[in-house]
Amino acid sequence: MGLRNRAGICALALMAGSVVLQLEPDVIRDLVIDNGSLRVTIGGVKAPLWNAAFAQSADSFSLNNVSFTFGSTTYEAKRIEFSGVSSSRADIEALFSSTSTEPMESRLKRITVKQITIPEARVKQTIGQQTQITTYRNTTLSNVSEGRIASALIETSATETSGAKNNVLISTGRSSINELDLPALARLYEAKADAASAPFSRIYGSFAIDNMEFADNETGVTFKIAHVGGKDFQGRPTKDSWTGTAGMFAEMADRTDLSSDDQARLFSAMADFLDAFQIGSMEASGIEATAKGKDGSGLTRINRIAYTGGTDTQPADVRWEGFEFSDKDNRVKIDGMSLTGFSFRQTIEGLRTLQGKSFDEIDPTAMRSLIPTLGTLRLSGLSIDGTTDDEGKKVKIQAGLKGFELTADKPVNAIPTNIRIGLQNLAMALPSNSTDDGIKELVALGYKDIDVSLLAAATWNEAASEITLNEVSFQGHDMGNIGLTGRIGNVGKDLFNADTAIATVALVGAKAKALDLTVENRGLFERYMAKAAKEQKTTPESLRRTYAAAAAFVVPAMIGNSEQAQTLSQAIARFIAKPGKLTVNATPKDPAGFGIAEAVVLPDPKAILDKLNVSAKAE
């Protein structure tokens, strides 16, 4: 089913034609060509238009019962028809020459055919204990020029993979590949890179597959995709060629005794291969998966999954649209999900700089260098209707989320310096029979459901050596709002050093420069007072007066009787007496900031307050 098999079918059609021009213009049967590594058999050759002039070329011919074996893969076709052949006999013969040292890329470049038709082709592959057989029906290759296929069309295909335990069936409808460059593909598999960063070659312009279906009889999973398409696949050779690299991966995958040298080679090969291909874009639509098990069946649907590769002008992007999952107890829906700006460049470079290290020699610093850049993850329109287990009891869960965002990018030594985490309108019905302490407390306050939003955003400014807390906030419907902003100075690049000792020293030297806190009551305070008053057998109004009076005395006792302490305590007392909005601003008296290490060694809160300018207001 892979591109390599489809390209193999195309190459089979070209290479099988080389045998024809070695024959007299008679019908020949049971021809076998075997050079040790390659075996070709042809049951019959028919060339009704041949004449003496075809000693060097033939415009059209057909082959019957063709078999082509290479390694553990066998290609078979009952009939292959060629028309509009422009290549010379010598050019086609060269494809199968056992003595030629010329690369297959060069040989394929000399093949030009107007059309090749294969009514049925069969590919058999043996990989370990698994055997895969794929049948392609009605394959047409059009306008093959210098080994490049303008268009390849396959009407249907079916693949059966059988192993020791399971049997997998895969089928597809119409499949097509445009602008397939067989010489470039051959070069990837046989050529070794002559430079660390060889240029990329485009392998195909676009491909499309309709009505793909996958069925696994062991797991009971059925997977369907209405359409898959992609464009602009590019590749470049690896140090040991794609064939050599794939062979090394396969050989090492079956071993449990990899030496230190083997492990080092594996890391180097992984970096080389991950950087050896690029995909312009891919898309799948109409996705449906069904799983049948002992506990019932589950159904998953996805309207569309799309990938766009990153370029110098646009970031890489992956997105899912219209996700749904359901089984007998649960239903989950997501309107959309996307990941933008992610990159594995740091991972690839980290693998390259391991410098021959084995698994056991990778220290935390080296491991950190392998962390990819996340970018920005966004999710919208989540809804959940199901059940969960709560200490042996089934609890009904109904929840929805308008949006979620996680940004972690602009890394320095693999640590992101731009972070944003946001949760927008998480709405949830509170189960009355939950054993969770937090949910029980909310129910006791009279809440039947909640609707909350959260946001935390911070960035590091290298030029100013500052971390800015852009916003840390919480909003709850019928609860209230809390907001926090601030600046931390004297934060240099050492804070992100892979050496934790150096990073700790940098953190200790950080200095707070500003802090602004806002608390706004929207109903939570009244609910708390009503609950507390009921427990103390008094009224909410009486309890609020008691708490306000206590604050006016308790706060100064804790932080001192300075003018700033009095201002702060009066503002807190007024907020308790009449809950509305409380604003607190704090800045260090020293323009350089208030050191974190200094705050740790100060004896009590009063000493800390003496070093700050504090203002507070209740309204």
pLDDT of residue 568: 86
pLDDT above 70 covers what percent of the chain?
85
Angle in degrees, CA 191, 196, 197, rounded to 5: 90
Q: Other C-beta atoms within 10 Å of 229: how many?
A: 16
Owner of token pair 């569309």: 304
Give the helix, strand, coil percentages of the chain, each rounded to 5.
30, 50, 25
198 confidence band (pLDDT: 50, 70, 90): confident
pLDDT of residue 567: 85
Asked whether residue 524 carries a pLDDT value surpassing 90, the answer given is: yes
Asked whether residue 54 carries a pLDDT value surpassing 60, the answer given is: no
55 confidence band (pLDDT: 50, 70, 90): very low
From CA 568, how far away is CA 561, in angstroms rounded? 10
Residue 565, domain extent: 462-618
- The alpha carbon dihedral of 594, 598, 600, 601 has a sign of negative
95 confidence band (pLDDT: 50, 70, 90): low
More confident residue, 423 or 197: 423
- The tokens describing 203, both together, are 């392998």
Asked whether residue 13 carries a pLDDT value surpassing 60, the answer given is: no
pLDDT of residue 553: 79
446: CB partners within 8 A, 6+ apart: 527, 530, 531
State whether residue 215 is helix, strand or coil.
strand
State whether residue 259 is helix, strand or coil.
coil
Owner of token pair 């199901």: 386
- Mean pLDDT is highest, among 200-214, 235-249, 384-398, for 200-214
pLDDT of residue 44: 45
Q: What integer is the mean pLDDT of 132-141?
A: 92
Residue 254 lies inside a defined structural domain of this protein? no
Owner of token pair 């996805």: 302
| pLDDT-wise least confident of 44-58, 290-304, 342-356 | 44-58
CB burial readout 142-152, b (16+ within 10 A) else e? bebeebbbebb
Whether residue 618 contacts residue 581, with contact meaning beta carbons closer than 8 Å, is answered with yes
Amino acid at 609: L
pTM for the full model? 0.81
Domain boundary residue, one of 145, 165, 191: 191
99 confidence band (pLDDT: 50, 70, 90): low
- The alpha carbon dihedral of 531, 532, 536, 538 has a sign of negative
Residue 539 lies inside a defined structural domain of this protein? yes
CA distances, 155 to each of 63, 158, 172, 213, 353 (Å): 20, 11, 9, 15, 47
Q: What integer is the mean pLDDT of 372-396?
A: 86
23 confidence band (pLDDT: 50, 70, 90): very low
More confident residue, 157 or 265: 157
pLDDT of residue 50: 38
Residue 160 lies inside a defined structural domain of this protein? yes
pLDDT of residue 217: 77
Q: What integer is the mean pLDDT of 203-231?
A: 91
CA distances, 518 to each of 67, 360, 475, 541, 617 (Å): 78, 50, 12, 24, 10
493 confidence band (pLDDT: 50, 70, 90): very high
Residue 384 lies inside a defined structural domain of this protein? no
From CA 383, how far away is CA 427, in angstroms rounded? 9
The CB-side HSE value for 223 (13 A sphere, CA atoms) comes to 11
6, with CB counted inside 10 A (0-12, 13-18, 19+), is buried
90: CB partners within 8 A, 6+ apart: 56
Q: What integer is the mean pLDDT of 568-582?
A: 90
98 confidence band (pLDDT: 50, 70, 90): low
Q: What integer is the mean pLDDT of 42-65?
A: 53
Residue 103 lies inside a defined structural domain of this protein? yes
355, with CB counted inside 10 A (0-12, 13-18, 19+), is exposed
- In order, the DSSP letters of 327-373 are -SS-EEEEEEEEEES-B-HHHHHHHHTTTT--GGG--HHHHHTTPPB
| pLDDT-wise least confident of 6-20, 122-136, 325-339, 357-371 | 6-20
Residue 186 lies inside a defined structural domain of this protein? yes
State whether residue 2 is helix, strand or coil.
coil
| Number of domains comprising the chain | 2
Residue 29 lies inside a defined structural domain of this protein? yes
Q: What integer is the mean pLDDT of 450-478?
A: 95
Asked whether residue 28 carries a pLDDT value surpassing 50, the answer given is: no
Q: What is the mean pLDDT of the chain?
A: 83
pLDDT of residue 329: 83
From CA 165, how far away is CA 377, in angstroms rounded? 38
187 backbone φψ class: left, alpha, beta (φ>0; ψ -120 to 50) = alpha
Which helix or strand (DSSP H or E) is residue 382 part of?
A: strand 375-390
27 confidence band (pLDDT: 50, 70, 90): very low
pLDDT in tens, 397-447: 889 999 999 999 999 988 999 999 999 999 998 887 778 888 888 998 889
Q: What integer is the mean pLDDT of 529-538?
A: 90
* 288 Cα distance to chain centroid: 20
pLDDT of residue 283: 96
Q: What integer is the mean pLDDT of 590-605?
A: 76
| pLDDT-wise least confident of 150-154, 184-188, 230-234, 557-561 | 557-561
Domain boundary residue, one of 166, 191, 216: 191
From CA 297, how far away is CA 290, in angstroms rounded? 7
17 confidence band (pLDDT: 50, 70, 90): very low
- In order, the DSSP letters of 142-182 are EEEETTEEEEEEEEEEEEEEE-SS-EEEEEES-EEEEEEEH
Which helix or strand (DSSP H or E) is residue 542 part of?
A: helix 540-559
- The tokens describing 169, both together, are 């069936």
From CA 11, how far away is CA 9, in angstroms rounded? 5
Q: What integer is the mean pLDDT of 26-52?
A: 46
| pLDDT-wise least confident of 102-106, 271-275, 288-292 | 102-106
* 283 Cα distance to chain centroid: 14
From CA 532, how far away is CA 550, in angstroms rounded? 16
75, with CB counted inside 10 A (0-12, 13-18, 19+), is buried
- The tokens describing 472, both together, are 């840390």
Asked whether residue 356 carries a pLDDT value surpassing 80, the answer given is: no
Residue 169 lies inside a defined structural domain of this protein? yes
Owner of token pair 């009063």: 606
Domain boundary residue, one of 145, 174, 191: 191
39 confidence band (pLDDT: 50, 70, 90): low
Phi, psi of 491 (to 5 degrees): -110, 100
Whether residue 237 contacts residue 192, with contact meaning beta carbons closer than 8 Å, is answered with yes
CA distances, 140 to each of 74, 160, 345, 353, 578 (Å): 20, 23, 39, 46, 81
198: CB partners within 8 A, 6+ apart: 236, 237
* Continuous H helices in 353-472: 364-368, 437-444
Whether residue 551 contacts residue 573, with contact meaning beta carbons closer than 8 Å, is answered with yes
Q: Among 476, 483, 482, 399, which Cα is nearest to 445's?
A: 476
pLDDT of residue 29: 46
| pLDDT-wise least confident of 7-21, 78-92, 168-182 | 7-21
Q: Among 307, 304, 339, which Cα is nearest to 324's?
A: 304
Asked whether residue 388 carries a pLDDT value surpassing 90, the answer given is: no
Q: What integer is the mean pLDDT of 360-366?
A: 78
More confident residue, 261 or 63: 261
